[in-house]
Amino acid sequence: MKENGGKMNTYFNEITAKPVNTVDGKVLYKIPAGAMCGNGDLGVVFDNDEADLIIHVSKCDFWKFTPGAHKDGGIKTVGSIRIKGVDLSQYNVKQYIDKGLLDCTFANARMEFFVAPENRICFEIKSEKAPSVEIEIPDTCGSVNSSFNKNGTDCYIRRFEGKNLERDSAVAVALNKIGTDEKAARYCVAVATNFDSEEYAEKAVQTAQSCDYESDKALTEEKWQKFFAASRVTLEDKEIEKHYNLSLYHLAGCMGNKGFPPGLFGNFITDDFFPWAGDYHMNYNYEAPYYCIFSANHPELFDGYMTPVNEMKAYAEKFAKLFGCGGYAFPVSFGPKALDVFSQKDCKEHGILFLGQKSNAAYACVIPIMHWYSTYDKEYAKENYYDFVLNTAKFWEDYLVKKNGKYIIKNDAAHEIPYYRGERFRYITHIGQIHTVNAINSLGLVKMLFKAVYDMARELSLNGEKYALWEDINKNLSNFPTFIKNGKKCFRYSRFGIRWRDENTVGLQHIYPASQIGLNSDEKTLEIARNSYFINDRRLDDNGSNSYLPAGARIGVDPDFVMEGIKQNIKEFALPNGLFRHHGGGIEHLTTVPVTVNEMLMQSFEGIIRLFPCWNRKSDASFENLRADGTFLVSAALENGQITTAKIKSLAGRSCTVEDCGIKRIIRESDNSEIPYKKSNGKVEFETQANTVYKLI
């Protein structure tokens, strides 16, 4: 894989065989293996049958809004592009991710393919005999399909409508042949939904007919060049570096529709029947893909995150009242536009899909809290998420029980109680889970929540009447429960209830993503954390590798152990296209490599910027513009065991604290002047000016 003058290009990926989605005739788990590209809203996946090349098309906002326990609702595929006459006996697809381009070579044809920003799929086919191109629209799940031709452009419509749906949805796919000669033909496929425009069919046709192939290609490349210029990581292990870039590429490929952020499987679905209907699971699955975006300096990918969260506010208020509380509470899952997949009559808690958990709204706050500390954008916070964070805190103000001076969490399960429903449910079997006291993940999330809402409110000069209460909760929330396991003191999953589970990583999520333990913690706490971490090896956990591995970096375990976990995930689960085939959900595992690498290279969540805090100093590495809490962009290089360069760009002019790594001078780059600093307790503190770069020498 050397597509850059003999040097490995880690923005390049090559697929040398047709995608395999079956083994011994059985369909593999739904994560697609074929080449992919997307523009943030529209996504495509390469596939094939025995005869033809098939390109599946999906879009973030095309759902069937069936209420209830999924039934036939959920995200739906738009359709497929079928290209006949392509000989797939030879198969090679090159993915140039910094250009957004696929370069395909088959036995009898070459094809160039990209998804342009304006929801146009563009491709050029060169062949001795021109293949035929057709649009196929599925008729599953009761869709109503139709088609028409306008001025030579074929348009295909797929609709879901009727009184049994919460709302109607429709998509139009327009196919336009935009240029041809004897041996080459160009096509544009444009897609629009009724959420794009009431005149969605007209919009699709107009978009296809207005395609300027070369201009769209240039705009696509410009978009991806700009995206990857925002930050950069360079490693000795080029396979890990490649998957770092591929993961960010695929995440950006489905995080562009501000009204419809990605559910479990993003916009890379290949039929109408993906697990859990591709919905929003709030007890980590929805949040996990966003873990890496801020440290990778892509806060723009957050822009759609709060839309479905805020659309659930009316329900959230009702759910909180079911537990005698104000504020907001969430069920385990829901869909866009507050799609009801949570009203399930056989659920034991009010007929709602809580599954014993009260922490889902607090989990939803993880990502806006990350946004807050990495941007301190006051106006954005007030407009998008302060109200939600405030009302989630309001729920916990009411729900917490104060006993002997300590705040306690009762009846909140650490794990889902999957059988907390139906006639076969046996109360006595799950009594410990139902009456859990101080679940460790909830304690971590609530600690995170009250620290953040207090910080936000003070910065925004809001809700001063709450400060005393929040200070009291922050000071007196119960400690994380512990117990002795395998002869060592470890964190216990709950004070009363489950002691430990060997699967999943729930017992470590107070470390990451709740950010309550790190290298600034006292040695006893770190020892307990490390003991808990090594009780068993969860590096390949289907549901938790994306929190287990960065948690290891946060508490300073052996960096080779963490790095080996990244390598194992790539070896065991990486597909040729850069996705990971885990059971626990689709795009959430794309965060594993970038978030772990970023936490190994640079940490800042404790208010201290640390360079290479969990890195084997024998391995050279560098990074540019990783984003630190406090709104700083940090760049550094490690060569021959020494930090050779370190720069910090202050975006907002806030005070900066850096771990002392032998710093002797701090130089303001704009005028090459030395600035004063304070040094104490292994830390260096200095004042900054907005949009100014400082060199650490």
Q: What is the pLDDT of residues 403-424, one digit of tens each?
A: 999 999 999 999 988 766 677 7
* CB neighbourhood size of 143 (10 A): 20
Q: What is the CATH number of domain 12-229?
A: 2.70.98.50
Vertex 204, ends 202 and 209: CA angle to 5°? Answer: 95
Among candidates 497, 493, 496, which has minimal Cα distance to 480?
493
Which CA distances in Å does 452 have to 290, 310, 371, 456, 510?
Answer: 18, 18, 11, 6, 15
Which residues, including other chains, have CB under 8 Å from residue 668's CB and lie 6 or more apart? 674, 675, 689, 692, 693, 694
3-state secondary structure 258-290: CCCCCCCCCCCCCCCCCHHHHCEECCCCCCHHH
Mean pLDDT of 223-252: 98
Q: What is the pLDDT of residues 320-378, one digit of tens each?
A: 999 999 999 999 999 999 999 999 888 888 999 999 999 999 999 999 999 999 999 99
Residue 601, both tokens = 């290279």
Q: State residue 28's pLDDT score.
A: 58
For residues 327 and 604, give the distance between their C-alpha atoms in angstroms, rounded to a whole number: 31
Q: Decide if pLDDT at 1 tops 60.
A: no
3.20.20.210, 1.10.10.60, 1.50.10.10, 3.40.630.30: CATH of 291-477: 1.50.10.10
For residues 35 and 112, give the distance between their C-alpha atoms in angstroms, rounded to a whole number: 13
Q: Decide if pLDDT at 428 tops 90.
A: no
Q: What is the pLDDT of residues 270-296, one digit of tens each?
A: 999 999 999 999 999 999 999 999 999
For residues 250 and 413, give the distance between their C-alpha atoms in angstroms, rounded to a whole number: 33
Q: Decide if pLDDT at 455 tops 60.
A: yes
Percent of the chain with pLDDT over 70: 97
Query: What is the C-alpha R_g of the chain?
Result: 26
Label residue 152 left, alpha or beta by phi (over 0 means left) and psi (-120 to 50 means alpha).
left
Specify the DSSP class assigned to residue 24: T
How do 109-116 and 101-106 pair as beta strands? antiparallel
For residues 283 and 630, give the distance between their C-alpha atoms in angstroms, rounded to a whole number: 27
Q: What is the pLDDT of residues 88-117, one digit of tens each?
A: 999 999 999 999 999 999 999 999 999 999
Among candidates 179, 181, 203, which has minimal Cα distance to 190?
203
* CB neighbourhood size of 674 (10 A): 11
Burial 90-127 (b: 16+ CB within 10 A, else e): ebebbbbbbbbbbbbebeebebbbbbbbebbbbbbbeb
For residues 514 and 363, give the distance between their C-alpha atoms in angstroms, rounded to a whole number: 8
Q: Decide if pLDDT at 4 tops 80.
A: no
Q: Decide if pLDDT at 495 tops 60.
A: yes
Residue-by-residue DSSP string for 455-514 = HHHHHHT--GGGHHHHHHHHHHBPPPPEEEETTEEEE-S-SBS----SSSSGGGTTTTTT
Residue that has been written with the tokens 């907005």 in this structure: 690
Q: Decide if pLDDT at 593 tops 90.
A: yes
Residue 640, both tokens = 């021959």
Among candidates 255, 410, 250, which has minimal Cα distance to 324?
410
> Which band of pLDDT confidence, cut at 50, 70 and 90, is reported for residue 249?
very high
For residues 621 and 615, give the distance between their C-alpha atoms in angstroms, rounded to a whole number: 9
Q: What is the CATH number of domain 621-696?
A: 2.60.40.1180
Q: State residue 347's pLDDT score.
A: 87
Among candidates 693, 519, 516, which has minimal Cα distance to 602?
519
Mean pLDDT of 167-183: 89
Mean pLDDT of 302-306: 98
Amino acid at 537: D
For residues 584 and 80, give the distance between their C-alpha atoms in angstroms, rounded to a whole number: 26
Mean pLDDT of 674-680: 97
For residues 232 and 244, give the distance between their C-alpha atoms in angstroms, rounded to a whole number: 10
Specify the DSSP class assigned to residue 1: -
* Residue, of 30 and 655, whose pLDDT is higher: 655
3-state secondary structure 192-224: EECCCCCCHHHHHHHHHHCCCHHHHHHHHHHHH
Burial 550-578 (b: 16+ CB within 10 A, else e): bbbbbbbbebeebbebbeebbeebbbbbb
Mean pLDDT of the chain: 95
Q: State residue 3's pLDDT score.
A: 58
Instruction: Map residue 416 onto helix, strand or coil.
Output: coil
Q: Decide if pLDDT at 2 tops 70.
A: no
Q: State residue 85's pLDDT score.
A: 94
Mean pLDDT of 8-24: 86
Look up the pTM and report it: 0.96
Instruction: Give strand pairing partners of 12.
Output: 96
Mean pLDDT of 587-598: 97
Residue 250 contacts residue 579 (beta carbons within 8 Å): yes
Q: State residue 345's pLDDT score.
A: 86
Q: Which phi and psi (to 5°) does residue 404 adopt?
A: 55, 40
For residues 486 and 490, give the distance between their C-alpha atoms in angstroms, rounded to a whole number: 9
Residue 251 contacts residue 293 (beta carbons within 8 Å): yes
* Residue, of 534 and 6, whose pLDDT is higher: 534
Among candidates 324, 327, 338, which has minimal Cα distance to 361?
327
Among candidates 306, 307, 305, 352, which has minimal Cα distance to 333?
352
SS3 content of the chain, % helix, strand, coil (to 5): 30, 30, 40
For residues 20 and 169, give the distance between their C-alpha atoms in angstroms, rounded to a whole number: 32
Amino acid at 257: N
Q: Decide if pLDDT at 429 tops 90.
A: no
Q: State residue 92's pLDDT score.
A: 98
For residues 660 and 348, give the distance between their C-alpha atoms in angstroms, rounded to a whole number: 54
Residue 215, both tokens = 């201009």
Q: What is the pLDDT of residues 50-97, one digit of tens each?
A: 889 999 999 999 999 999 877 889 999 999 999 999 999 999 999 999
Domain ranges for the chain: 12-229, 291-477, 621-696
Q: State residue 360's pLDDT score.
A: 98
> Which band of pLDDT confidence, cut at 50, 70 and 90, is reported for residue 20?
confident
Q: Which phi and psi (to 5°) does residue 678 adopt?
A: -115, 140
3-state secondary structure 592-642: HHHHHHHHHHEECCCCCEEECCCCCCCCCEEEEEEEECCCEEEEEEEECCE
Helices (H) and strands (E) in the chain, counts: 16, 34
For residues 2 and 462, give the distance between their C-alpha atoms in angstroms, rounded to a whole number: 55
